[in-house]
């Protein structure tokens, strides 16, 4: 066995895969720069570590199944003035992941919910967290098979620090699917963050799950620690079509950030942005309706709300 082959074999057996390709160059550089043993050792350790981190990032990207590389830098906040850019940028800082806080993105089609969810997930992945993206339709399909003891599938939704459930609202759930979704949300409650995107108002979740009580209990867990981003704006897809530039909103509208916030316990705050504050009055009727329904359906939420807003 030649000298370099013996070295390669050693590196492989020690699982120092990055050094197999990089060691010859690093040795050459060390000779030319007359590096001390200590400096050379530091260089090879750094090279191996950087290689491992790169491979781990690629692995996290692959297992996340993100459908798009939507980034915050590519998001035009001026197109959606109802979004608090500051709130989104604070979320991108990642502290919500440590506190297992959820992020709820509400709004009509095309306003950037999936883009923002993917952008937050990308930042999380790049800072070392694991994320998993799925649509509600795929999720309930997968969870349905978990009756067959597919523990690996369940782990894929439970273990990542961040789970993104996209498109809540397009799939009406069977009782079994509704129960599986509830169980998953319960299992992740206070353990791992969920980003949810939905075109539905909270009051319509009972219909989606086919069970008002289950929906209220699920919302109770989702909203207990949550940041809510309500996007009341135009579809970015339709931005060049003036005639189709009508926003499709559910009956009663979406809760504004300010009104929705009354449903949840405070999370380390960003200041409420002016545009959402000004739209609070116009939707206060629907927000109150939303609160009344939730109060009726959910005693724990009722207690939370009564401590926050005794006047209600």
- Min dist. Cβ of residue 173 to Mg ion (A): 18
Q: Which does 79 bind (CB under 5 to 8 A by kind): Mg ion, ligand ADP, none?
A: ligand ADP
Q: Which does 80 bind (CB under 5 to 8 A by kind): ligand ADP, Mg ion, none?
A: ligand ADP
- DSSP conformation letters of the chain: --HHHHHHHHHHHTT-HHHHHHHHHHHHHHHHHT--HHHHHHHHHHHHHHHHHHHHHHHHHHHHT-S----GGG--GGG-TTS-HHHHHHHHTTHHHHTT-EEEEE-STTSSHHHHHHHHHHHHHHTT--EEEEEHHHHHHHHHGGGG--HHHHHHHHSSSEEEEEEETSSPPPHHHHHHHHHHHHHHTTTSEEEEEESS-GGGHHHHHT-HHHHHHHHHHHHHTEEEEE--S--STTTT-STT------TT-PPPHHHHHTTS---S--PPPHHHHHTTGGGHHHHHHHHHHHHHH-HHHHHHHHHH-TT-
CB 244: neighbour CB atoms within 10 A?
A: 10
Number of residues that bind ligand ADP (CB under 6 A): 17
- Min dist. Cβ of residue 230 to ligand ADP (A): 12
Q: Which does 169 bind (CB under 5 to 8 A by kind): Mg ion, ligand ADP, none?
A: none
With contacts defined by CB under 5 A, name the span among 111-119, 229-237, 241-249, 259-267 that binds Mg ion: 111-119
Considering only residues 69 to 128 of the shown chain, the ones binding ligand ADP according to CB under 6 A are 70, 74-76, 79-80, 107, 109-115
Q: Which does 159 bind (CB under 5 to 8 A by kind): Mg ion, ligand ADP, none?
A: none
Strand order in the sheet with 162-168: 131-135, 162-168, 193-198, 102-106, 226-230
Considering only residues 135 to 194 of the shown chain, the ones binding ligand ADP according to CB under 6 A are none
- Min dist. Cβ of residue 15 to ligand ADP (A): 39
Alpha carbon distance 268, 260 (integer Å):
16
Of residues 75 and 182, the one with the C-beta less far from ligand ADP: 75
State the DSSP H helix or E strand holding residue 104, giving kind and residue range, or none if neither.
strand 102-106
Considering only residues 223 to 242 of the shown chain, the ones binding Mg ion according to CB under 5 A are none
Of residues 81 and 144, the one with the C-beta less far from ligand ADP: 81
Of residues 87 and 180, the one with the C-beta less far from ligand ADP: 87
Q: Does 80 bind Mg ion (CB under 5 A)?
A: no
Considering only residues 113 to 132 of the shown chain, the ones binding Mg ion according to CB under 5 A are 114
Contact mark string toward ligand ADP, 35..74, x via CB under 6 A: -----------------------------------x---x
- Min dist. Cβ of residue 170 to ligand ADP (A): 10
Considering only residues 190 to 229 of the shown chain, the ones binding ligand ADP according to CB under 6 A are 197
Question: Residue of minimal CB distance from ligand ADP?
Answer: 112
Cα 54 to Cα 93, 115, 151: the distances in Å are 21, 24, 28
How far out from the chain centre does Cα 109 lie?
A: 18
Of residues 235 and 279, the one with the C-beta less far from Mg ion: 235
Of residues 168 and 178, the one with the C-beta less far from ligand ADP: 168
Of residues 31 and 237, the one with the C-beta less far from ligand ADP: 237
- Contact residues toward ligand ADP (CB under 6 A) are 70, 74-76, 79-80, 107, 109-115, 197, 236-237
């Amino acid at each position: 066995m030649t000298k370099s082959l013996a070295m390669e074999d050693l590196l492989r057996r020690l699982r120092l895969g990055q050094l197999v390709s990089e060691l010859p160059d690093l040795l050459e550089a060390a000779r030319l720069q007359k590096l001390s043993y200590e400096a050379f050792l530091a260089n090879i350790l750094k090279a191996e570590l950087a290689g491992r981190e790169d491979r781990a990032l690629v692995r996290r990207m692959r297992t996340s199944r993100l459908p798009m590389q939507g980034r915050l830098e590519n998001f035009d906040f001026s197109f959606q003035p109802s979004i608090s850019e500051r709130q989104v940028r604070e979320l991108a800082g990642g502290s919500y992941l440590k506190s297992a806080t959820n992020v709820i993105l509400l709004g009509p089609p095309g306003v950037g919910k999936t883009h923002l969810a993917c952008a937050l997930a990308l930042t999380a992945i790049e800072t070392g967290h694991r994320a998993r993206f799925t649509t509600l339709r795929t999720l309930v399909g997968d969870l349905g098979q978990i009756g067959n003891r597919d523990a690996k599938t369940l782990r894929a939704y439970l273990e990542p620090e961040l789970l993104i459930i996209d498109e809540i609202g397009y799939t009406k759930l069977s009782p079994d699917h509704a129960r599986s979704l509830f169980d998953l949300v319960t299992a992740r409650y206070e353990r791992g963050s969920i980003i949810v995107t939905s075109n539905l108002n909270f009051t319509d979740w009972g219909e989606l799950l086919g069970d008002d009580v289950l929906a209220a209990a699920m919302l109770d867990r989702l909203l207990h620690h949550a940041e809510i981003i309500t996007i009341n704006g135009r579809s970015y897809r339709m931005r060049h079509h003036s005639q189709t530039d009508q926003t499709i909103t559910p009956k009663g509208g979406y809760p504004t950030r300010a009104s929705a916030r009354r449903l949840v316990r405070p999370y380390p705050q960003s200041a409420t942005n002016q545009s959402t504050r000004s739209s609070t009055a116009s939707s206060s009727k629907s927000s109150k309706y939303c609160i009344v329904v939730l109060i009726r359906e959910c005693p724990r939420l009722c207690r939370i709300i009564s401590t926050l807003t005794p006047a209600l």
